[in-house]
Structure 1
Amino acid sequence: MCFHNKLHQLVLFFALSELLLGNMVGRRWLPWINNPSPGSITVTSDKQEGETSSGFLGNGRKGKRAPICPVVGVSVLCLLLLLLSCGAAVYNAVPHSGPEWNGLLLENQNISGGLLTRANHLLEERGLRLQEQTGPLSADLRSADLRSADLALSLASAELAERIANLTSANLRLAWERERLLPREAVERNHTARRLLDSEEEGPRLSGANGLLGEELLREREENRRLRGEVEDLSHQLTQLQEQKRDMESVREAFRSLDLYCPVVTPWTKERICRKCPDSWRLFENKCYFFSSQTLTWSSSRAWCRTQGGDLLIVNSQAEQSFVFQSGPVPQPSCSRLWMGLSDREEEGEWRWVDGTRVLSEVQFWLSRPGLGPEPDDWKLDDPRGEDCGLLDASEQALGSWMDGSCEESYRWICEKNV
């Protein structure tokens, strides 16, 4: 019985110790349990510490309590260990049989069950308090997470906006580069295509105008054919008039020759006396020759001879060369040169008479002076175009008096015509 009382007192002592320890931890009278190490992080704020101090002084205000699940678990574990130790001691000291032992075990089981029930209630209260305390903390954590996520999304949005701006700038730059690299003709074709698309509404009006222009074109073509026929008729008439003019000139030339060779001696009877050569002309064989006293260029002297019904001199024999050489008077030494109807204007070195015939090799009387070379020499010192017209120098020998000279020089000339 004495042992039973002592055991009962021991159990009660440990139970009271457990309750007192739990209450002190719950009221934060043992802060070193809540924050056992200097390096650990506490979740209590300055406000919570103030509330804890106020509760300790007996103000009756309860603040937020920190989680004490670990402390309660340790306390219960220690209590269970003490109970097991006491039970083991009792089991070894007391006999294991008898009514006294059975009653002691039953009472111990009842006390242990009450203690466990009390501890369970305390744990449930601590759990509810922890849920109340962790609710705002979870809301704060969720709010912090949302703010972090919002900040991250803002940063990502800013980055995307910057990338969009960069891509837009790159797109504009590429478009400008494309416009610059496109050939001008392609750009003009595009503009033309746009104008054609824009002018689709004007299609009917343009078609009407095109029809009117087609009718006008047909009328113009008919008028053109009529005018072309008139031009052809006028050209035919002009050709006939030109032929008539040439006939009239031939008749006029015939009358002029008739007046020269057969002048009228009796005006009232129109009697004519024909002669072989006109005045100032000299007869040799069947031709008349005229030796001028004036000077002209080669072309002008030939034109004068043609007005007289003849042309410049053509030498066909040595006898004719001797006649013209001896018959040409020399008024003064500077006037000894006379134009003949000889030139190589058409082809250099190819000398031809004015009637188109070539100079015969057996009838050539070119001047050859010792030390100066033979004529023709195409001298270009006085005229860069050279010397392309033939002349006779009466101061030289009869059978060696031909020379080539510049056609623009002015000399006397010799005309000839048939009797």
Structure 2
Amino acid sequence: MRRQLSSVCLLCCSASETAGTMVGHQRLPWTNNSTQGAISVTSAKQEQEITSGFLRTCRRLCPLVGLSTLCLSLLATCAALSVLYSNESDTKPEWKSLFDYQNMSDSYLTLTKANTDLKKENEILKEHSARQGEQTKLLNRTSVKLRSISFALSLENGELKEQIVNLTSTNIQLMKEHEQLVQYKSEQEERRLNVSQTIKYLFSSNSQLQEEKRRLSEANNLLRDELFQLKEENQQLVEISDKRQEEIQNLSKKIEAFSKDDCEKLEVEVTQLQEQNQNLSTMLGKERQEAAEQERSRTQEMEQMVADVQSMSEAYDSLDLYCPVVNQRTKERICKKCHDSWRQFETKCYYFSSRVLSWSSSRAWCRTQGGDLLIINSEQEQNFVFDASRALEQSGTRLWIGMTDAEDEGDWRWVDGSKVTSDVKYWLSRQGMGTEPDDWKLDDPSGEDCGHIDTSESALRSWMDGSCNIPYRWICEKNA
């Protein structure tokens, strides 16, 4: 009987352990709740599937938990029976009756059947646990993929945020530029109206000049005809004078053959003839002087007319240069302040050369373009020319500007004669190496009498003096 109780107890223990093992296997899917949490955050569908699987697992485990509880109760019962049997075995060597043994046999058969059912359930749970393990592996792989996708999406989100910030700033800048363009367009419309009025005035002036030119041409033709007539009259007077001279010579020859009285008469006649000749010469001189004055007046009128035509031609050249025709059919023009190779800043146009010349040659080139070397009047203008020169560095960092002390050493003046003032002065100063201008004479014995900008230095400390004969680039300036 003790062996039977022991076998029943061992059977209950094995059933309990089997139930515990199955419970442990069934707990695998939700032991890694931290991992599944990340999956549930990334996908609501996965969360629903896991929840439904958990509920199905709970439904299958509820009978198992009941069986485990029953086994524990049977184990406690076996322990109590064992204790009773031990107490009674000391006094009674056998069972009280066959009925108790039959009850124990029935309990054993029940437990055996329960154990068989538990083994079958254990096999089912093992298969289910294997499937759950495969699902767990699949979920882990899916979790890794989702984490990588989440990381990529996070990076893409950061890039999109940066792009949004950049686009926002670009949008603000474009709005500002749009406002500036609208303002510039309104200004251009006003200038266009002014230019249209100027063009109308120029056309009317051109018509008047053409009419004046035609009138002067007619006057010139008349003056040419009069001059030709005067030349013919002058030729006739010369021929008359020559005849008079021949007559005088003939009379002189006759005088020798005449008597004294006849000579006196002839002298009187010669004197009269000489007076007549002198009068004719005086008249001829006056006529020549009048013809010369008329010719001079006509020449002056022609020169003035040529100057007017030249001025009109230059005006039209300037018109084509600064107000080019954009529509040949309607002759519409769009005006600009500066030529294509010049840059505008405020009310002036600036030219930054790519070639190199001496200071005097660069100034002569600027003057042929209607301007002169640069005169700096403000800090804003200094910053503009410095930045523009640095952006267009091609043949060195030094550029001539319109500043010199060639007339009086140390008395620096601009090309318009104004003095370089202390409030607009940006000479270079190096720590421990002195301050510009220093009139260095080692390179040129005559010294350094011309000013230039060095873009390798800072904007407000970039003026230097140099030899006027060294070729540098240059900066021209003229009114817009």
User: Which category of TM-score, normalised to the shorter sequence, fits these structures?
Assistant: 0.3 to 0.5
TM-score normalised to structure 2 length:
0.36
Give me the TM-score of the superposition, normalised by structure 1.
0.41
Query: Max radius of gyration: which structure?
Result: 1
